[in-house]
Amino acid sequence: MTTTITSEKKQLKQGMLDNVMRQFNNAADIIQLNNNIRKILEVTNNEFIVHFPVRMDNGEVEIFTGYRVQHNNALGPYKGGLRYHPTVDIDAARALAMWMTWKTSLAGLPYGGAKGGIQLDPTKYSQDELQRITRRFTYALGDNIGPELDIPAPDVNTNAQTMAWILDTYMSTKSPNERSKNLHVVTGKPIGAGGSEGRDRATGYGVFLTIKFWAENKKVDLKNKKFIVQGFGNVGYWAAHFLEKEGAILTAVQDAYGSIYNEDGISTERLLEYVQANKGSILGFSGANTMDSADFFSLDCDICIPAALGNQITVENAPKIKARLIAEGANGPTDVKAEEILLKRGVDIIPDILCNSGGVIGSYFEWLQNRNGEIWQLDEVLEKLEKKMRESFGKVVHKAKSKKVDMRTAAFIIAIERLEETYVQRGIFP
């Protein structure tokens, strides 16, 4: 079976690359970025496309296509997730790799940006097949990833189990005395396989923290504020969990299967239990009613958290959005033109490269522990995460004020300036 891509999906992916380039060029123009450095940052350093065969449960062999794009490594090893989704292709990987460079730079981490994945619909495969696909993909990538070269992590439809398979496969290709030196080839691993306490919730907790910092700044009390979440996976669930603990009310959720609504509130824990028992779908949950997905973003609410795919908030739905704040848990959820509409309407947007950076910061903590043979406690991890996120948030707010720009442009300016400084100090080889 080969995965076909509809023109709608193709548009969505091309849109992401176009969006990230516009965001970059907008910030680069404002700071009058050195033209030579602009040329370097506009392109990706390395792009790998691998085709590999995997035996299916029925004995047939299927050929898969995997991608890994490494955008820039001036600040350190490449870092970024692996996504299993029919929309994964070279342009999607390029766009997402570029966002990773800006995200790691903004967070002050010693990393560059990368992204990749496999073009497939994981619901069509058994766990055994997914394991063989993952292991064979890892083998095909070979030493183009590595603990000091390029460190993948979970993204859409990949999780801690996927990372454990990658780690085990990668380590198995090394000599016995090299094996344990490679524990940090991936982050987001299960605790038993060298993962870190708190990495599971790091992205969603970070999304929550940025909302909390925003509320502190605007003197908004989060108690009883209504919020809606698109995507009830790792990021969406954990963001909702922490917001609910703060007293906010989850009123609607949308996932790949449909949308549900309850204006009195949806219990995040009950919904999680239901989704886990219902093959990942929210549909049929007894604590809410099904609603038309086309009306999701126009629901009455205070906060909207897109935590699924790119290009979800568009010129079509932006004029109808009622939320006062959009917190971008997903990468690239807001189209550039939609953002212009929202900013004109006074809607605040916490940009993805800030809002969901808790994930890569949590990954950095896992990488450091593996590298140093340390094991940190959960409270220690969350405390360090909060400190780093508060620092980044403060920097973005300050830059937005001083340059009189929106938060995304401010975040991009900080990220680009750090890279510019690095290139100016080091020069260009040879």
Q: Which is nearer to ligand NAD, 147 or 333 (CB)?
A: 333
Tell me which of 106, 107, 256, 415 binds ligand NAD, using CB under 6 A. 256
Give yes or no for residue 330 binding ligand NAD (CB under 6 A): yes
Which residues 335-394 are close enough to bind ligand NAD by CB under 6 A? 356, 359
Give yes or no for residue 230 binding ligand NAD (CB under 6 A): yes
The letter for the amino acid at 65 is T
Residue among 13, 115, 189, 212 flagged as catalytic:
115
Q: Which is nearer to ligand NAD, 37 or 111 (CB)?
A: 111
- What span, in angstroms and rounded, lies between the C-alpha atoms of 316 and 296? 12
Closest CA to 227 of 202, 254, 203, 205: 254
Pure H helices in 373-428: 378-403, 407-426
Interaction mask 202-221, ligand NAD, x per CB under 6 A:
-x------------------
Tell me which of 183, 185, 215, 235 binds ligand NAD, using CB under 6 A. 235
Residues 6+ apart with CB under 8 A from 379: none
Asked if 371 and 333 count as a contact pair (C-beta separation under 8 A), the reply is no
* E strand or H helix at 154: strand 150-154
Crossing angle for the helix pair 127-141 and 160-172, to the nearest 10 degrees: 50
Interaction mask 285-324, ligand NAD, x per CB under 6 A:
----------------------xxx---------------
Q: Using CB atoms within 10 A of its CB, is residue 19 exposed (0-12), middle (13-18) or buried (19+)?
A: buried
Which residues 132-161 are close enough to bind ligand NAD by CB under 6 A? 154-157
52's tokens: 């590999």
CB 361 → ligand NAD: shortest distance, Å? Answer: 10
The question of whether 212 is a catalytic residue gets the answer: no
Q: Which residues pair with 253 in a beta bridge?
A: 229, 260
SS3 (DSSP) at 54: strand
Interaction mask 170-199, ligand NAD, x per CB under 6 A:
------------------------------
Tell me the catalytic residues.
115
Site residues (vs ligand NAD, CB under 6 A)? 81, 154-157, 203, 230-236, 254-256, 307-309, 329-331, 356, 359
